[in-house]
Structure 1
Amino acid sequence: MKPEHGLGSAINAGARTRSLLDRLFPVNQALAIKSMFGVWGAYFVFVSCRGLYMEQNNADSLFVQRILMTSVCITLTWMLYRLLVAVRRNGMRAAILVLLLPTMILANYIAILDQIIFDHDAALFDFSYLLDPIEFSMFDWTYILDEAFTRYFILASWGALYLALAHSHELQRMMAHSRYLERVNRESELRALRYQLNPHFVFNALNSVSSLIIDRKNKKAEKLVDDLADYMRAVLTDGAEDMVAVEQEIAQQVRYLEIERMRFPDRLHYFVNIDATAHGWMIPALIIQPLIENAVKFGVSGTDQPVNIIISAQREGDRLCISVANDGRVKRPAGLAHKRTPGTGTGLINIQERLRALYGQNASLLLANNNDGMAIATIVLPDPSLIFQDI
């Protein structure tokens, strides 16, 4: 029990320390502490080094007095910091006014304390003279005015520096928050686009299962159900990665085509050609699924003749081209991203929006007809390093 009490006491002490710092420095804690101690620490070092070149009988006492004076300066700078925190909510003009009149008062107060502290040849750690009545007639007001100007310049410079750094910190925080929201929005958009599965595919597959059961082809029906379950599991669960290797993506689509072949065993033929140099290239998951769906829906389903579907992936310089070709012709309407027509609708728009969200203008989707009577849809992807990333 004693170690636990000791640990609890240490945690409570740490919490009290943190809460004290939070109360002393409620805004920009690290910035305020570092800037205050940095400015006055540099001033302390400069004055101490200057004292090395001067003959001083009580160098040790002066060193301690400089520490005391530096502590006073840090304390009064903290008061200026709290004033800036309080008025900054009212705008930058209020903060600038604080740097004028209140800062001037603090500078004069520091100069008077400087005169009181250093105008005594006291013994080491003897500060009893601070309790003596103050005789203003004994002050060297020329020295005080010169010292007040120096301290005012330091305080005003610190205040301007703090305001500038605080404003920059706030802008960076807002920009980081904006980038975070943009990234979250983009990821949500990408996932929503990714999971826009064609419900007709599921309905048709279930109808095929029903037909096989009616025809008492139970083994084929069972295989179709297993394939469909594996495919859906891979898409919705196992395929949680945003980016997959090109060969992994194409293997997934081959599984999809195997399911569709159960519906069109005599008319659906597919071929896969992956260039060896394309292996390992990371592409968006399920990016070619809409192309495969269109090839089946508008190629195989639209005719009684056998239809070939060719999936290929090859590198062309620093880009990867993935194409899906099927027998038939396609007419690409003007303004594809804004029109939904049979054959070139939601699926292609989905691809375009995902490419734009991931690569900007560095990726493209192309539709064409070749001389062999095939419609070809090609996705051109840049190097994966060009995917949008937060800096």
Structure 2
Amino acid sequence: MQPTQNAECRTLSLFSRLFPVNRDLAIKSIFGIWSAYFLFVSSRILYVPEMNADALFLQRILMTIICITFTWMLYRLLIAVRCKGMGAAIFMLSLPTMILANLIALIDQIVFDHDARLFDFSYLLEPVDFASFDWTYVLDEAFTRYFILVSWGALYLALSHSKNVQRMMEHSRQLERVNRASELRALRYQLNPHFVFNALNSVSSLIIDRQNEQAEKLVDDLADYMRAVLTGGAQDMITVEQEIAQQVRYLEIERMRFPQWLHYFVDIEPAANGWSIPALIIQPLIENAIKFGVSGADQPLNIIISARIEGDRLRISVANDGRVEIPPAQPHDRAAGTGTGLTNIQSRLRALYGQNASLLLANSKDGMAIATIILPDPSLIFQDI
């Protein structure tokens, strides 16, 4: 470590010992209030002529340093009782502060000597003649200094309390963010494994039928999809383009299981491709579309995936042939009771955006069930209304 760095460390250590609690607040408030007082008192020379003004100016500097020292003593008294409640702090601002104010007033009477010469403080070493004191002036000065000390103490207590509250709120927000992130990751990995089992059964069937090329392609597609899902776990947010690419890969796997029954179409507005969305947020919608659309159907299933930017919102829709039963609307959960997949989506949206995002279910006039996710700008993540 360089000598300059050593000196900085020693200075920081000294200030840390002198001001162990709320160092910046204490230093700025103490020096600020007495600097303002010094400037105010010194400005009197502009409209009240003084004899021996230069010597009095130095005496005011000395007195300001003394006042700063006594205020630091009050600061130490306040932090000594900071854990004992407001009553102890109020007590410190009464009797102990009165004593400090009277001491300052007495020292003030000793320091100021209108007959002293510039840079001559030898009179401070002489015995103090209390009989010569102007006690009315001392009493007035004691009241003034007491008012300043109490005002500073009240200001310091208020600002330090506010700072502590802000610190606690920030800590609470950080904990909430950690909890939300943990919740999101737990929801993120609640993937329905049924399609994996079905895909493996399809591979087995293809191998039995000696359709080795199709079986190999299905295994490759399944491996690519699972790799993208599992190794991308650290990416809680991905672009619309990446999400659609993953879902197209998933649909290709499913289409090998239902080659004559499953058809899909993708209609993404170019401006929406770069929008950040939660990873795999539309996965349960597509799973539901396939699950309820293919089973028991007597005609091919069409799935349409679309994304549009409407104002400052992104609208992603997954539509499929058929009808959906719309559950009664419930507070904070429009998709309640409609299945694990939709509940998963709603929980992730709430954890990320609060009430700024929504999941809507509807039936179109042309006989399609539509599930729509409406997302705000990514800057609203973790911000509730």
Same fold (TM over 0.5): yes
Match of 1:232 among 222, 226, 229: 226
Give the letter for the 1:231 counterpart.
Answer: Y
User: Does structure 2 retain, via aligned residues, the 8 Å contact 1:327–1:374?
Assistant: yes
- Establish whether residue 246 from structure 1 lines up as the match of residue 229 from structure 2: no
Deviations 1:258-277 (A, max 9, x none): 11122222222111122455
Q: Verify the 8 A CA contact 1:319 1:380 in the aligned structure 2.
A: yes
Are 2:186 and 1:179 aligned? no
Question: Contact (CA 8 Å) 2:303, 2:320: kept in 1 or not?
Answer: yes
Q: Does 1:33 align with 2:62?
A: no
Rate the CA distance shift 1:302–1:193 in 2: closer, same or farther, 3 A. Answer: farther
CA spacing shift, 1:139–1:88, aligned 2, 3 Å: same
Structure 1 residue runs of 5 or longer lacking an equivalent are: 1-6
Counterpart for residue 3 of structure 1: none
Question: 2:121 and 2:351 mapped to 1: Cα distance?
Answer: 69
**CA drift at 1:208:** 2.8
Distance 2:130 2:336 in 1: 88
Segment drifting more, 271-280 vs 345-354: 271-280
RMSD across aligned positions (CA) = 2.6
Give 1:62's aligned residue.
56
* Offset from partner CA, 1:295-343 (integer Å, 9 cap, x none): 12222245464322221223445543322122333323447859986xx
2:307 to 296, 304, 313: 313
> Structure 2 counterpart of 1:274, which letter?
I
Q: Normalized against structure 2, the TM-score is what?
A: 0.90
Match for 1:99: what amino acid?
A: L
Once the two structures are overlaid, the 10-residue window that deviates more, 379-388 or 157-166, is: 379-388
- Report the Cα distance in structure 2 between the residues aligned to 1:98 and 1:340, rounded to whole angstroms: 57
Indicate if the aligned counterparts of 2:240 and 2:274 stay in contact, CA closer than 8 A: yes
Percentage identity across paired residues of the two chains: 77
Separation in 1 of the partners of 2:110 and 2:197?
A: 92
Deviation at 1:26, TM superposition (A): 1.2
Greater mean deviation of Cα atoms: 310-319 or 284-293: 310-319
> Do the aligned partners of residues 213 and 9 (structure 1) sit closer, same or farther apart at CA in structure 2, a change above 3 Å counting?
farther
The alpha-carbon distance between structure 1 residues 152 and 225, as it changes in their structure 2 partners (threshold 3 A), is same
After superposing the two structures, state which structure 1 stretch, 183-192 or 111-120, moved more: 183-192
Q: Does structure 1 residue 352 correspond to structure 2 residue 339?
A: no
Q: CA deviation at 1:347?
A: 0.5
1:205 maps to 2:183: no
Q: Which moved more, 1:157-166 or 1:113-122?
A: 113-122
Please tell me whether the aligned partners of residues 190 and 357 of structure 1 are also in contact (alpha carbons under 8 angstroms): yes
Could you say if the C-alpha distance between residues 281 and 338 of structure 1 is closer, same or farther in structure 2, counting changes exceeding 3 Å?
closer
**Offset of residue 156 of structure 1:** 0.8
**Deviation per residue, 1:36-85 (Å, 9 max, x gap):** 00000011111111134444443322222111111110000000001111
**Residue 16 (1) aligns with residue 10 (2):** yes
Which shifted more, 138-147 or 257-266? 257-266
Contact 1:340-1:346 at 8 Å conserved across structures: no
**In 2 relative to 1, CA 338–244 (structure 1 residues): closer, same or farther, beyond 3 Å?**
closer
Gaps of 5+ in 2: none
Question: Does 2:104 match 1:110?
Answer: yes
C-alpha displacement of 1:103: 0.8
Q: What secondary structure sits across from 2:144 in the alignment?
A: helix
The partner residue of 1:257 within 243, 248, 251 is: 251
Contact kept? 2:203, 2:218, Cα under 8 Å: yes
C-alpha spacing 1:212/1:126, structure 2 compared with 1 (3 Å): farther
In the superposition, relative to structure 1, how do residues 243 and 109 fare at CA in structure 2: closer, same or farther (>3 Å)?
same
The answer for the alignment partner of 2:360 in structure 1 is: 366
**Segment drifting more, 172-181 vs 144-153:** 172-181
Q: Which residue of 1 aligns with 2:263?
A: 269
**What residue number does 2:373 align with?**
379
What secondary structure does 2:81 align onto? helix
- What amino acid maps onto 2:368 in structure 1? M
- Structure 1 stretch displaced more, 14-23 or 47-56: 47-56
Paired position in structure 2 for 1:286: 280
> How many matched pairs?
383
Offset, 1:232: 2.3
Q: Distance in 2 between matches of 1:80 and 1:277?
A: 62
